[in-house]
């Protein structure tokens, strides 16, 4: 079973998203702030990370950079969730190195499509 | 008493004439001295009439000498001539008495010349007053035009003092003006250096005057906590000093005010007394300065309000942006939850429940669309919307519309027909924004088109001349050259004529009373117009009520220069404070060349200095006030002066040519300055 790490300080988003992903046969682990998210990403060996941008302690951009510039973790696909549709360059570009991004509010079908691109 | 100056031979004057004159109550004075002494005596005695004997030593020369002084020009000269003699200078004198002298003739002649003298004196005085008034009027006239030319408060006071100096030639002027409720400036202008105790005394006097004026009016003003003294001495090098006693000079005082607006007080001191004309002139100047002072005050207030408004506008944009971001977050779990319920994973749901949940989901989509629009608008207004301009073919974007709106259109059985020119030329645009423009227009049309209608979208190349611009509302630019024209034409409810001008306004949604079966906040068209404007295009609408609407968009074909200017103006908007444009366009030499040839003048409207890097050389173009001197040295020194202002770099050298054109930047010369690094020489 593929393991997906969801990191977002909005518990409702994490809960609904993990419910839907579990229903599609994924194993989900969750973190509710940047710091524990980063620790879990390093310790639990996920197959994919869904990462919110605005979070307490360490923001999503930074986590993404830390993972993508570490040879040990750089192959883990990262999908970023953002409330700003304008930041495409910042997220996808060299600055953070994320693989995909989705804008709030998102359709689950879009998220699933993007996950399947990497874990399909 | 009438004064007669006698230039006669000794015996004659003493013995005969003097007693007769004194008997008739004339005041007399005799002289037989040398000419220099005579002139001094005349100066002191100030006679009305001079009686001079033809036999007086050097008679003609003496008369000429006396007359050469303009102060003596009204004195009547009467020549005493022997019966048998003739004289060669009759034209020099005003009257003639033939000897031997008869008392009656003498007295009547003197009396009539006296009348002439008095009339002349009066004329002379009137004339003097007239020319003085004329001068004052002239100064007043010049001053008023100077007043009208500035809104700088401190400059206005300087003009006022200068005008008073010219017309009233004061020794000392003291002006006290308040700058804010607590601070004041005390301006002291003097001819010679004033003593310190005089300065202090004048300052206290001004403050007292000031308070006096305030107490007499309804104006409330705080105490002065800080008075700045600005002192100007005209002849600082002279040894003369105004002591404390100068405060006893004749003085003129006036408050500077207009209506209820009170600005300060002014007082003048002069060692010679002021006349009534001086008072009038003084008052005229103080009145004259008060009006522009009020304008300056209003201008200042408006500037402050403007800054506040700008700040407010910025805050508003930020607010909208933050709120929009915040709104999206809760929408996400709502949407997710609905989706979970809808999928049946949380339990089986009825058909009705499914419909209602679908309805909720549709409205969440609408809501997030509105939030997106709000965000776009706030970004556009804050100048923060990013455009990713590329040279693109927009035909696929137009074709995409059919697919995008397939479902929505079929719900109302609306047909979307496309008419795209084959091999549509490329434009310089942000594809995503072009798609946004098209989507906004088409979704708007669908919204306002009833069942079974048709929407026609077409894209063609047009020439600016073919476009009827009377329909164009507030054109952003005056179009010229070639454009792609996109039209979106529907069979909808149309727009009332009176609503057309405000259709692109923020939040305006045209009320269509009975037929109103569509809704929305109406941000779409506002955003669309802003996006079109950003592409240097134009948008306008043709419509008739109940007949449908036709939205027209024109977008300019690729024109690198134009696009470059557009980029430039955006750079400038973002860096308002920097006066220098730096172009790093060294990759595209054609662009630079055409810029140099055609566009510098246009660029100069945007900036005073332009920096272009080319082949490792930096070329500065600077726009400097017209160089009037034609000499090469003067030109170079002006350029050097400007160079030092641009950058502290040494310029290895300089200049192709200076030229100017009557193209809105007249009175400007363009100077090309090459900065070649030493290694390259």
CB atoms within 10 A of CB B345: 13
Query: Residue B448: is its pLDDT beyond 80?
Result: yes
Chain segment B550-564, per-residue pLDDT in tens? 999 988 886 655 555
Q: Are residues B87 and B205 in the same domain?
A: no
Instruction: Judge whether B291 lies within some domain.
Output: yes
Residue listed under structure tokens 């970004």: B379
Asked if residue B653 lies in contact with residue B677, where contact means CB atoms within 8 angstroms, the answer is no
Chain segment B481-531, per-residue pLDDT in tens? 788 999 999 998 888 887 787 788 765 544 443 344 344 446 788 889 888
Residue A112 pLDDT = 92
Query: Residue B186: is its pLDDT beyond 50?
Result: yes
Residue B174 pLDDT = 92
Residue B113 pLDDT = 92
Residues of B in contact with A23 (CB under 8 A): 340, 343, 345
Instruction: Judge whether B535 lies within some domain.
Output: yes
Instruction: Give the three-state DSSP class for B131.
Output: helix
CA of B463 to nearest chain A CA: how many angstroms apart? Answer: 34
Is there a contact between B333 and A16 if contact means CB atoms under 8 Å apart? yes
CA of B328 to nearest chain A CA: how many angstroms apart? Answer: 6
Interface predicted TM-score of the whole assembly (ipTM), two decimals: 0.81
Q: Closest-CA residue in chain A for B332?
A: A105
Q: Closest-CA residue in chain A for B373?
A: A85
> In the CATH scheme, what architecture does the domain A3-119 have?
3-Layer(aba) Sandwich (3.40)
Note down the domain range covering B658.
560-680
Residue B295 pLDDT = 87
Q: Closest-CA residue in chain B for A20?
A: B340
By the CB < 8 Å criterion, does B328 face chain A? yes
**How would you label B651-669 residue by residue, b for 16+ Cβ within 10 Å and e otherwise?**
beebeeebeeeeeebeebb
Chain segment B345-370, per-residue pLDDT in tens? 888 999 999 999 998 988 888 888 88
Residues of B in contact with A84 (CB under 8 A): 325
Which residues does B90 contact at the CB level (< 8 Å), separation at least 6?
B79, B96
By the CB < 8 Å criterion, does B372 face chain A? yes
Chain A interface, best mutation among B329, B334, B373, B432, by max A CB count within 10 A: B329
Query: Residue B436: is its pLDDT beyond 80?
Result: yes
Chain segment B230-286, per-residue pLDDT in tens? 888 888 788 888 988 888 999 999 988 888 788 889 999 999 999 888 898 898 899
By the CB < 8 Å criterion, does B318 face chain A? no
Instruction: Judge whether B511 lies within some domain.
Output: yes
Instruction: Give the three-state DSSP class for B46.
Output: coil
C-alpha separations of B602 from A75, B596, B597, B607, B665 in Å: 52, 11, 11, 9, 8
Across the interface, of B328, B379, B386, the residue whose CB is closest to A104 is B328
DSSP, res B274: P
Q: Are residues B585 and B643 in the same domain?
A: yes
Among left, alpha and beta (phi > 0; psi -120 to 50; other), residue B204 is alpha
Q: Closest-CA residue in chain A for B325?
A: A83
Q: What is the CATH number of the domain that holds B70?
A: 3.40.50.2300
Number of domains in chain B: 4
Q: Are residues B501 and B621 in the same domain?
A: no
CA of A114 to nearest chain B CA: how many angstroms apart? Answer: 16
- Nearest residue to B169 (alpha-carbon basis) of B312, B56, B314, B269: B269
| pLDDT-flagged residues of chain A (< 50) | none
| pLDDT above 70 coverage of chain B, percent | 74
CB contacts < 8 A (A, B): 58
Query: Residue B190: is its pLDDT beyond 80?
Result: yes
Is there a contact between A108 and B364 if contact means CB atoms under 8 Å apart? no
Is there a contact between A10 and B329 if contact means CB atoms under 8 Å apart? yes
Across the interface, of B325, B333, B379, the residue whose CB is closest to A83 is B325
pTM, two decimal places = 0.50
Residues of B in contact with A16 (CB under 8 A): 333, 336-337, 339-340
Instruction: Judge whether B325 lies within some domain.
Output: no
Give me chain B's average pLDDT, please: 77
Instruction: Judge whether B134 lies within some domain.
Output: no
Across the interface, of A13, A20, A89, the residue whose CB is closest to B332 is A13
CA of B520 to nearest chain A CA: how many angstroms apart? Answer: 20
Instruction: Judge whether B375 lies within some domain.
Output: no
Asked if residue B663 lies in contact with residue B631, where contact means CB atoms within 8 angstroms, the answer is no
By the CB < 8 Å criterion, does B363 face chain A? no
By the CB < 8 Å criterion, does B345 face chain A? yes
| pLDDT above 90 coverage of chain B, percent | 17
Is there a contact between A105 and B345 if contact means CB atoms under 8 Å apart? no
Residues of A in contact with B332 (CB under 8 A): 10, 12-13, 104-106
Q: What is the CATH number of the domain that holds B421?
A: 3.30.565.10
Q: Are residues B57 and B146 in the same domain?
A: no
Instruction: Judge whether B369 lies within some domain.
Output: no
Q: Are residues B148 and B296 in the same domain?
A: yes
Is there a contact between A16 and B337 if contact means CB atoms under 8 Å apart? yes
Q: Are residues B287 and B181 in the same domain?
A: yes
For residues A19 and A14, what is the distance between their CA atoms, to the nearest angstrom? Answer: 8
Chain segment B271-329, per-residue pLDDT in tens? 999 988 889 889 889 988 888 888 888 888 898 999 999 888 888 877 877 887 788 88
Structure confidence at residue B395 as a pLDDT band (50, 70, 90): very high
Q: Are residues B106 and B212 in the same domain?
A: no
Chain B interface, best mutation among A25, A105, A107, by max B CB count within 10 A: A105
Residues of B in contact with A17 (CB under 8 A): 336
Structure confidence at residue B112 as a pLDDT band (50, 70, 90): very high
Across the interface, of A20, A83, A86, the residue whose CB is closest to B339 is A20
Residue-wise DSSP of B388-421: --EEE--HHHHHHHHHHTHHHHHHTT-EEEEEE-
Question: Of the candidates B504, B535, B556, which is a domain's last residue?
Answer: B556
Instruction: Judge whether B136 lies within some domain.
Output: no
By the CB < 8 Å criterion, does B325 face chain A? yes
CA of A77 to nearest chain B CA: how many angstroms apart? Answer: 22
Chain segment B589-636, per-residue pLDDT in tens? 455 454 554 444 444 444 555 565 555 555 666 555 555 555 555 655
Chain segment B114-172, per-residue pLDDT in tens? 999 999 999 998 998 888 888 888 888 888 888 888 888 888 888 999 999 888 889 99
Q: Are residues B564 and B523 in the same domain?
A: no
Question: Of the candidates B70, B98, B124, which is a domain's last residue?
Answer: B124
Is there a contact between B345 and A19 if contact means CB atoms under 8 Å apart? yes
Q: Are residues B530 and B643 in the same domain?
A: no
């Amino acid at each position: 079973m593929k393991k997906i790490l969801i990191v977002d300080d909005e518990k409702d988003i994490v809960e609904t998203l993990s419910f839907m992903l579990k229903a599609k046969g994924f194993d989900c682990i969750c973190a509710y702030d940047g710091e524990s998210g980063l620790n879990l990403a390093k310790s639990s060996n996920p197959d994919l990370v869904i990462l919110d941008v605005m979070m307490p302690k360490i923001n999503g951009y930074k986590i993404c950079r830390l993972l993508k510039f570490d040879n040990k973790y750089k192959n883990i696909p990262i999908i970023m969730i953002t409330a700003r549709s304008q930041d495409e360059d910042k997220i996808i570009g060299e600055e953070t190195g994320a693989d995909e991004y989705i804008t709030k509010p998102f359709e689950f079908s879009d998220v699933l499509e993007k996950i399947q691109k990497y874990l399909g | 008493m009438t004064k007669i100056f006698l230039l006669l031979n000794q015996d004659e004057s003493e013995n005969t004439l003097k007693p007769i004159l004194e008997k008739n109550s004339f005041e007399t004075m005799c002289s037989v001295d040398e000419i220099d002494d005579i002139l001094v005596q005349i100066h002191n005695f100030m006679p009305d009439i001079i009686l001079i004997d033809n036999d007086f030593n050097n008679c003609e020369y003496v008369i000429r000498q006396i007359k050469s002084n303009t102060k003596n020009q009204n004195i009547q000269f009467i020549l005493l001539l022997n019966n048998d003699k003739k004289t060669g200078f009759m034209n020099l004198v005003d009257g003639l008495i033939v000897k031997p002298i008869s008392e009656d003739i003498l007295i009547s002649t003197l009396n009539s010349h006296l009348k002439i003298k008095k009339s002349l004196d009066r004329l002379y005085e009137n004339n003097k007053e007239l020319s003085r008034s004329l001068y004052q009027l002239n100064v007043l006239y010049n001053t008023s035009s100077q007043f009208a030319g500035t809104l700088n408060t401190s400059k206005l006071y300087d003009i006022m003092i200068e005008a008073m100096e010219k017309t009233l030639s004061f020794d000392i002027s003291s002006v006290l003006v308040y700058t804010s409720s607590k601070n004041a400036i005390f301006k002291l202008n003097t001819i010679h250096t004033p003593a310190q105790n005089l300065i202090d005394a004048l300052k206290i006097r001004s403050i007292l005057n000031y308070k006096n004026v305030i107490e007499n009016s309804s104006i409330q003003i705080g105490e002065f906590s800080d008075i700045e003294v600005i002192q100007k001495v005209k002849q600082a090098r002279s040894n003369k000093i105004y002591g404390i006693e100068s405060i006893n000079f004749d003085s003129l005082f006036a408050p500077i005010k207009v209506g209820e607006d009170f600005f300060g007080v002014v007082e003048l001191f002069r060692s010679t007394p002021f006349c009534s004309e001086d008072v009038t002139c003084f008052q005229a100047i103080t009145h004259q300065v008060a009006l522009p002072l009020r304008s300056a005050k209003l201008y200042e207030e408006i500037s402050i309000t403007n800054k506040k408004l700008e700040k407010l506008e910025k805050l508003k944009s930020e607010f909208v942006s933050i709120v929009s971001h915040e709104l999206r977050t809760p929408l996400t779990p709502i949407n997710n939850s609905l989706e979970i319920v809808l999928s049946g994973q949380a339990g089986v749901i009825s058909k009705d429940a499914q419909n209602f949940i679908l309805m909720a989901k549709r409205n969440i989509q609408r809501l997030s669309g509105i939030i997106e629009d709000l965000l776009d608008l706030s970004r556009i207004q804050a100048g923060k919307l990013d455009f990713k301009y590329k040279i693109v073919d927009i035909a696929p974007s137009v074709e995409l519309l059919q697919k995008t709106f397939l479902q929505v259109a079929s719900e109302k059985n609306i047909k979307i027909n496309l008419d795209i020119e084959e091999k549509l030329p490329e434009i310089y645009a942000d594809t995503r924004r072009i798609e946004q423009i098209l989507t906004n227009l088409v979704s708007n049309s669908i919204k306002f088109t009833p069942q079974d209608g048709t929407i026609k979208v077409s894209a063609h190349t047009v020439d600016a001349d073919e476009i009827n611009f009377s329909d164009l509302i507030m054109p952003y630019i005056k179009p010229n050259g070639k454009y792609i024209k996109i039209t979106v034409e529907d069979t909808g409810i149309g727009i009332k004529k009176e609503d057309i001008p405000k259709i692109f306004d923020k939040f305006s949604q045209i009320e269509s009373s009975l037929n109103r079966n569509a809704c929305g906040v109406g941000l779409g068209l506002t955003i669309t117009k802003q996006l079109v404007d950003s592409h240097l295009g134009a948008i306008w609408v043709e419509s008739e009520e109940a007949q449908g609407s036709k939205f027209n968009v024109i977008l300019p074909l690729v024109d690198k220069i134009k696009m470059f200017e557009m980029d430039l103006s955006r750079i400038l908007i973002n860096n308002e404070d920097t006066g220098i444009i730096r172009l790093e366009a060294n990759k595209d030499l054609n662009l630079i060349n055409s810029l140099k040839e055609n566009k510098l003048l246009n660029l100069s409207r945007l900036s005073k200095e332009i920096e272009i890097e080319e082949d490792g050389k930096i070329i500065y173009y600077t726009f400097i006030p017209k160089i009037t001197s034609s000499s090469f040295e003067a030109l170079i020194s002006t350029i050097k002066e400007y160079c030092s202002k641009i950058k502290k770099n040494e310029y290895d050298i300089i200049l192709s040519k200076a030229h100017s054109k009557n193209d809105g930047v007249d009175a400007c010369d363009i100077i090309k300055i090459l900065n070649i690094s030493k290694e390259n020489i």
